[in-house]
């Protein structure tokens, strides 16, 4: 008769099944809106993504300085990897507001290739002053780091105000061209219905 091998004793303190080590999801770093006045220029740097979540804060800051008589606005996208349609529409509305308030310029500087493509594909390079070669406001660029502080405008608003802001941004984009009107028609229609219904849902 074959001799049976004694059962091996299980080591204590060692789990029978090894747990998989799951890599935590990559978190999107928060966006900061930094602002400052450099001589005759109001400089805004978007430190992170430009989205519907921070576009109202940026809009308030731009409108405030225009109402105070500032006519040279710069939006610095050096640290902004991308913008959504609400942020793009906010920039469009700010440029048009500046034009209606007596003239001036809203310059976009340090935009990466993706943001340049977004701006030009929507025709915003005809409304904004898009700096492609880094020659605009050369003297002011050297003073930016020392001049910028966190934007003091608040972002917390009720959902109805936020929805109206998103709607206005997309309407500004739609007014630029027939192509934009067709592109954003469904979004505008959805937001208008949400405001009428009073539910004020904001699409991501």
Whole-angstrom distance, CA of residue 90 vs CA of residue 106: 12
Instruction: Indicate which CATH number applies to the domain containing 144.
Output: 3.30.750.24
What averages of pLDDT result for each successive group of 10 residues across the chain (204 residues)?
45 39 47 89 94 93 93 95 96 93 92 96 95 86 79 76 93 96 95 81 48
**Residue 3 domain-assigned (yes or no):** no
Range of the domain at 70: 32-154
3-state secondary structure of 50: strand
Residue 171 lies in a domain: no
Compute the distance between CA of residue 96 and CA of residue 104 in angstroms, rounded to an integer. Answer: 10
Decide if 96 is inside a domain: yes
Tell me, yes or no, whether 135 lies in a domain.
yes
Strand 72-76 with 105-109, pairing: parallel
**How many domains does one find in the chain?**
1
pLDDT at 143: 83
The pLDDT of residue 29: 60
Model pTM?
A: 0.79
In a domain, 87, yes or no: yes
């Amino acid at each position: 008769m074959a001799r049976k091998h004694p059962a091996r004793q299980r080591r204590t303190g060692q789990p029978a099944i090894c747990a998989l080590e799951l890599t935590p999801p990559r978190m999107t770093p928060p966006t900061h809106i930094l602002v400052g006045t450099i001589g005759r220029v109001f400089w805004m740097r978007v430190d992170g993504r430009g989205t519907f979540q921070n576009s109202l804060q940026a809009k308030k800051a731009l409108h405030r300085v225009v109402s105070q008589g500032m006519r040279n606005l710069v939006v610095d996208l050096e640290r902004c990897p991308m913008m959504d349609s609400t942020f793009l529409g906010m920039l469009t509305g700010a440029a048009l507001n500046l034009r209606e308030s007596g003239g001036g310029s809203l310059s976009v500087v340090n935009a990466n290739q993706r943001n340049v493509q977004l701006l030009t594909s929507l025709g915003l390079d005809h409304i904004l002053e898009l700096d492609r070669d880094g020659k605009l406001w050369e003297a002011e660029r050297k003073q930016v780091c020392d001049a910028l502080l966190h934007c003091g405008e608040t972002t917390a608003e009720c959902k109805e105000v936020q929805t109206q802001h998103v709607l206005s941004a997309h309407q500004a984009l739609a007014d630029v061209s027939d192509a934009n009107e067709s592109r954003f028609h469904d979004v505008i229609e959805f937001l208008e219905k949400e405001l009428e219904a009073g539910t004020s849902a904001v699409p991501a």
